[in-house]
Amino acid sequence: MDKELNNMVIPEHVAIILDGNGRWAKKRGLPRSMGHKEGCITVEKTVEDAARLGIKYLTVYGFSTENWKRSTEEVGALMQLFRYYMVRLLKVSKANNVRVKMIGDRERFDSDIVEGIGRLVEETKNNTGLTFVIAVNYGGRDEIVRATRKIMEDTREGRISPESLTEDIFTGYLDTKGIPDPDLLIRTSGELRLSNYLLWQLAYTEIYVSDCYWPDFNMEEMKKAIVAYNSRERRFGGVK
């Protein structure tokens, strides 16, 4: 454990909104695609840092359902980067005993990307270290709608009754089934919004906002977030 974090509680699950790639690139007179590429390098480093700190789950917002609204050129560049990064991530995961999971709706992606996602998940499923969750073509509202459709289908087929539905059962229909809710949410670039991210799961998550752009995020920024997390009193709606 890092000396600066001695006697501090390390959050079990950290979720991150990776914001500011484009602005990082613009500030340097570079195309937005270079910001996304640099952001992928930061993701790799963050996975290794999180594992070293003892974080058990790391979830990052890779590509939202709203990101399809960006220019054709930018979306195309992101898809190419994603293809490259899946191959790279497989090597990083095997080297660091990381299990990879993907959440979101895969149906809109090209078949080779869907196959790549399947391979990445399958070949790392027995790893026992950090669980790295990537949200791709993901939106919190979309996830809840898809879960509700499944519940309606199961109700129609008699597998569940309306009276038996509880929060725990509903959670089991979400993409994050089997994954604990985040303890800490980090958002970079100073923005103060959830951006349709893990809307159900973030109900009692502590939020930390960093002013740095995502490509500049590093271990020191992660430490600051953990220190801030330890200054909070988590009551989950109760009184201590």
Q: Residue 181 in contact with residue 13, Cβ under 8 Å?
A: yes
Of the residues 6, 21, 49, 67, which is catalytic?
67
Mean pLDDT in residue range 54-81: 92
Mean pLDDT in residue range 201-210: 97
pLDDT at 7 over 70: yes
Q: Which residue has the higher pLDDT, 235 or 6?
A: 6
Least confident of 54-63, 81-90, 116-125: 81-90
pLDDT, mean over the chain:
93
Cβ neighbours around 219 below 10 Å, total: 16
Query: Residue 207 carries which side chain, given as an amino acid letter?
Result: I
pLDDT at 1 over 70: no
Structure pTM?
A: 0.93
How many angstroms separate the Cα of 108 from the Cα of each of 40, 118, 208? 22, 15, 32
**233 band by pLDDT with thresholds 50, 70 and 90:** confident
Cβ neighbours around 73 below 10 Å, total: 11
Q: Which residues pair with 206 in a beta bridge?
A: 184
pLDDT at 103 over 60: yes
Residue positions counted in the chain: 240
Rounded CA separation 100/144 (Å)? 22
Of the residues 2, 6, 19, 96, which is catalytic?
19
**19 counts as catalytic:** yes
Mean pLDDT in residue range 171-182: 98
Rounded CA separation 181/156 (Å)? 29
**2 band by pLDDT with thresholds 50, 70 and 90:** low
Which string of DSSP letters, residue by residue, matches 47-99?
A: HHHHHHHT-SEEEEEEEEGGGGGS-HHHHHHHHHHHHHHHHHHHHHHHHTT-E
